[in-house]
A and B are shown apart, each in its own frame.
Chain A
Amino acid sequence: MFLEVTHRDGERELRPRGHWRAEHAPQLAREVDEFQPGAGRIVLDAAQLESLDLTGAFFLRRLERRLAVEGVEVRWASPRPEPLEFESGVVGDELPAPRPENPHPPIGQVGRWAVERGLEARGAIAFLGSVCLVFAGAVARPKRFRAASIVRHVYETGLQAVPIVALIAFLISVIIAYIGAQQLRQYGGEIFVVDLVTLAVLRELGVLLTAIIVAGRSGSAFAAEIGVMRLNDEVDALRAIGLNVVEVLVLPRIVGLVIALPMLTIVADAMGLAGGAVLSFLLLDIPFNQFLARMQEAIMPTTFWAGLLKAPVFAFVIALIGTYRGMQVRESSRELGRLTTVAVVQSIFMVIFVNAIFAVAYWQLDF
């Protein structure tokens, strides 16, 4: 007990006692916070206080301030302990603002969430709109496409990604072929591994894997590059100089990726088929010319295009999300990291989502 309360002549006497020191901070906090000021005058008496350090003074002043906030009249029976004066000098005499009643009740939170989502959607649509406007303007006057910048982005997002895309496409199709071979061998249908690999790679896996790798590589890079420029105020500096930021920073990235991703997809398709062929030869003794002949039979004229058609759409989605998240960075580098991650996660999600829409559309169109 650090705080003793006694009642006398209609007045309450409040005696801090013992050692009000840092080592008892938790208990001091509890006792000070649990004290109910109630109504009526209070006399404070420090006569039984054995020692008081700055932590103790902090809590004693918290008590004083609480009493003041509640409008309780306070009188010191003993001299006010000196550390309190010091504490007032350092922390100031301002009273803490009363804590507002829970500002966000549950229903309010739902509403707040909805409004935030709505505002965010509006921002994203506005961004898409400005990209479209700038694109239309650039189509009218092709000089505004900034060829040098586009070429750089094709190089960075396309050419530099070739090794990783090729390797992953090769390995994945080896895995598909291997699993297919194991299952189909039970029915003596090893030759259908060729159909499986060819259709899977050309229609789905080639473009999807490429898009996911590119989303991780370039979607994050777009967000980070533009985010760093925002943190550096370079984006505002461009605007202040009189440049259209979407035209300078966003459009070249989108156009660059829309060019690069289909080319990467072709590489992935080729490597995927090569992986299937190699595994078929090693595991199933299907020679390369037989693999090729079977492949011809398995595919329709549209199979290759069914996959490739998706690439520019995926590229647009990835680049749009990456640049949009980069543009959202404001003021702190923590946001930069967060938004870069958001860009990657969202673009991968959107790629898979759009792929599902394609699948349904192809099914309906019998493509």
Chain B
Amino acid sequence: MSIRVQGIRKRFGEFVALDGVDLEIETGQLVALLGPSGCGKTTLLRVLAGLESPDAGRVDLHGRDATQLPVQARNVGFVFQHYALFRHMSVFDNVAFGLTVRPRRTRPARTQIRARVEELLSLVQLDWAADRLPAQLSGGQRQRVALARALAIEPAVLLLDEPFGALDTQVRQELRRWLRRLHDALHFTSVFVTHDQQEALEVADSVVVMNRGRIEQRGAPADVYDRPASPFVHRFVGTSHVLPAERTADRVRIGPIDAGLVPGPDGPLEARVRPHDLALARDGEGWPARVGAVRVLGPLVQVELTIDGVPGGPRIAELSREQYEATPWRTGDAVRLSLKRWALYDRAEAA
């Protein structure tokens, strides 16, 4: 077990950033902390690093209590969203800095430092830029320098705070795949913070969804997407449509659709559905609905649907191009809407 945190609480004045967080991360995993801004994910990361001290709770790193350890004693590498490179130092000096400032007893020899920095720079494919200043590099390149700098001290745990947040989409995608490869090659434990669900689902071994200072769900990316533990998770990891449902004598009906037996008290429920789990047909079982705008977006086709008698704006169904071409819907068509897959939640939970 590489990281274990128990009962972490942290407040900033009135604002509760972390409200009792327990988390275990195994050695060698790449874990994403996912959540909206203000959910406490960055604070949790900074508590792991020792940049922030928790009001209560305990942090263990590699089986040792590290709650009171200062950053420098924790052997963690930290990568910041805005790179945080030292502006007046060359790329080489930036990467070497963590080694050259060590006290003489633990400092490697000058030649060793040089060799290590050159190795790291070639690892991040920036060996040609050793003498440049950070300002002369692009955002993606700077973030790779920051990564090399974090790796220079040979950390057992690498912590990344929205590492790709400041980059444009293409560089971002490239860099996150590259991070995954780097992680697989070097076998450290990584934790990264992101508010981008795609990024989390694509890169991580395990996703931790946070909301209001608590962990809502922890699981493999596919699990979190397919079996969200709460309406919040459903809404956050993808588009989520709400449909009213009703339970009488353990039998659940989502509008006209029979959703089978789900034991529980009688009363209204909330069904949540992904856009690609909505199915359209000319007739048959399902909600009567009307087709609004139809948008063809490359491989996907979005169809807006207004369901008769159900409040809330139009629902958007996502069809594959093939499905759409087999039955091309037009604005104004009357359709029957059914569900391929759904998740049920109590109303109270949803509020």
Using a CB–CB cutoff of 8 Å, the interface residues on chain A facing chain B are 85-86, 88-90, 93-94, 232-234, 236-237, 239-243
- Name the contact of B313 in the complex, choosing from A89, A232, A237 (C-beta under 8 A): A89
Given A239-B71, A242-B153, A243-B72, are A234 and B312 neighbors across the interface (CB < 8 Å)?
Answer: no
Q: How far is the CB of A331 from chain B (nearest CB, A)?
A: 10
- Which residues of the partner chain B approach A93 to less than 8 Å between Cβ atoms? 311-312
Contact between chains at A85 and B313 (CB < 8 Å): yes
Q: Contact partner of A88 among B51, B76, B311, CB < 8 A?
A: B311
Contact A233 B82 (CB under 8 A): yes
Residue pair A240, B311 in contact (C-beta under 8 Å): no
B77 touches A233 (CB 8 A): no
A-contact 0/1 string along B71-99, CB 8 Å cutoff: 11000111011111111000000000110
B311 nearest CB neighbor, chain A only? A88
Asked if B150 lies at the interface with its beta carbon under 8 angstroms from chain A, I say: yes
**Is B139 close to A, CB under 8 A?**
no
Residues of B within 8 A of A242 (CB): 71-72, 98, 101-102, 153
Nearest A-chain residue to B100, judged by Cβ: A241
Q: Which residues of B contact A89 (CB under 8 A)?
A: 312-314
Inter-subunit contact A240/B313 (CB<8 Å): no
In the bound complex, do residue A85 and residue B311 qualify as a contact, i.e. CB atoms below 8 Å apart? Answer: yes
Distance (whole angstroms) from the CB of B105 to the closest CB of chain A: 13
- Within 8 Å CB of B71, what residues of A? 239-240, 242
Q: How far is the CA of A364 from the CA of B33 in the complex (A)?
A: 64
Q: Is the CB of B78 within 8 A of A232?
A: no
Residues in A neighbouring B72, C-beta threshold 8 A: 239, 241-243
Chain A residue with Cβ nearest B99? A241
Taking a contact as CB atoms under 8 Å apart, the answer to whether A239 and B311 are in contact is: no
A236 adjacent to B80 (CB under 8 Å):
yes
Q: Which of B76, B86, B102, B351 contacts A234 (CB 8 A)?
A: B86
CA gap between A233 and B77 in the complex, in Å: 14
Chain B residues, CB < 8 A from A232 = 82, 84
CB nearest to A144 among chain B residues:
B103
Closest to A94 in B: B351
- Tell me if B191 counts as interface (CB < 8 A to partner A): no
Nearest-CB residue, chain A, relative to B155: A240
User: Besides A236-B78, A241-B149, 17 other CB < 8 A contacts?
Assistant: A85-B312, A85-B313, A88-B312, A93-B312, A233-B81, A233-B82, A234-B84, A234-B85, A234-B86, A236-B80, A240-B51, A240-B150, A241-B153, A242-B72, A242-B102, A242-B153, A243-B72
Report whether over half of chain A's contact residues are helix, strand or loop; otherwise say mixed.
helix
> Is B204 an interface residue, CB under 8 A from the partner?
no
B30 within 8 A of A: no
- Taking residues whose C-beta sits less than 8 angstroms from the other chain, chain B's interface range is 20 to 34
CA A232 – CA B97 in complex, angstroms? 17
Distance between B347 CB and nearest chain A CB, rounded to angstroms: 12
Give Cα distance in the complex from A90 to B311, angstroms: 11
User: Would you give 23 A-B contacts (Cβ < 8 Å), ordered by A?
Assistant: A85-B311, A88-B313, A89-B312, A93-B311, A93-B312, A233-B80, A233-B81, A234-B86, A234-B87, A236-B78, A236-B80, A236-B84, A237-B86, A237-B149, A239-B51, A240-B51, A240-B150, A241-B97, A241-B101, A242-B71, A242-B72, A242-B102, A242-B153
C-alpha spacing A9/B232, complex, angstroms: 44
> Quick check: is B273 within 8 A (CB to CB) of the other chain?
no
Residues of B within 8 A of A94 (CB): 351
Smallest CB gap from B75: residue in A: A242
The verdict on B49 contacting chain A, using a C-beta distance below 8 Å, is yes
Q: How does the 8 Å CB contact mask read for B95-121 relative to A, with 1 for contact and 0 for none?
A: 001100110000000000000000000
A237 CA / B102 CA spacing, docked (Å): 15
A89–B80 alpha-carbon span in the complex (Å): 38
Nearest A residue to B350 by beta-carbon distance?
A94
Nearest residue (CB) in B for A116 is B13
| Interchain CA distance A243-B351 in the complex, whole Å | 46
What CA separation (Å) do A233 and B142 show in the bound complex?
14
B150 CB contacts on chain A under 8 angstroms: 240
Which of A88, A234, A236, A240 is within 8 Å of B77, CB to CB? Answer: A240
Contact residues in A for B85 (Cβ distance below 8 Å) = 234, 237
Which residues of B (290-315) have their CB < 8 Å from a CB of A?
311-314
Minimum CB distance partner of B242 in chain A: A93
Task: For the complex, give the distance between the alpha carbons of A85 and B102 in Å.
Answer: 65
Q: For residue B98, which residue of chain A has the nearest CB? A: A241
Q: Which residue of B lies closest to A84 (CB)?
A: B311
Cβ of A85: which chain B residues have Cβ within 8 Å of it? 311-313
| B12 to A, closest residue via Cβ | A330
Instruction: Mark each residue of chain B from 135 to 165: 1 if its CB lies under 8 Å from any CB of chain A, else 0.
Output: 0000000000000011001000000000000
The CB with the most chain B CB atoms within 10 A, among A85, A233, A241, A243, is that of: A241
Give complex CA distance A85, B84 in Å. Answer: 48
Chain A residues near B76 (CB-CB < 8 A): 240
* Chain B contacts for A234, CB-based, 8 A: 84-87
Q: In the complex, what distance in Å separates the CA atom of A243 from the CA atom of B82? A: 20
The 6 closest A-B pairs by CB, nearest first: A89-B313, A242-B72, A233-B84, A240-B78, A233-B80, A237-B84
Bound-complex Cα distance A236 to B71 (A): 10
Q: With A242-B102, A243-B72 in contact, do A237 and B78 touch (Cβ < 8 Å)?
A: yes
Measured CB to CB, the closest approach of chain B to A80, in angstroms, equals 9
Distance to closest chain B CB from A332 (angstroms): 13
Distance from B167 Cβ to chain A, minimum over Cβ atoms (Å): 16
CA distance A81 to B26 in the complex (A): 56
Query: How many angstroms from the CA of A237 to the CA of B161 in the assembled complex?
Result: 12
Q: Which of B77, B83, B313 is in CB contact (< 8 Å) with A86?
A: B313
Q: Is the CB of B101 within 8 A of A90?
A: no
* Complex-state Cα separation, A239 to B159, whole angstroms: 14
Q: Are B86 and A240 in contact (CB under 8 A)?
A: no
Would you give the shortest CB distance from B48 to chain A, in whole angstroms? 11
Contact partners of B313 in chain A: CB under 8 A: 85-86, 88-90
Minimum Cβ distance to chain B for residue A42 (Å):
18
What CA separation (Å) do A232 and B51 show in the bound complex? Answer: 15
Closest to A239 in B: B71
CB distance from B322 to the nearest CB of A (A): 29
Chain A hits for B49, CB < 8 A:
240
How far is the CB of B241 from the nearest CB of chain A, in Å? 11
- Expressed in whole angstroms, the minimum distance between the Cβ of B317 and any Cβ of chain A is 15
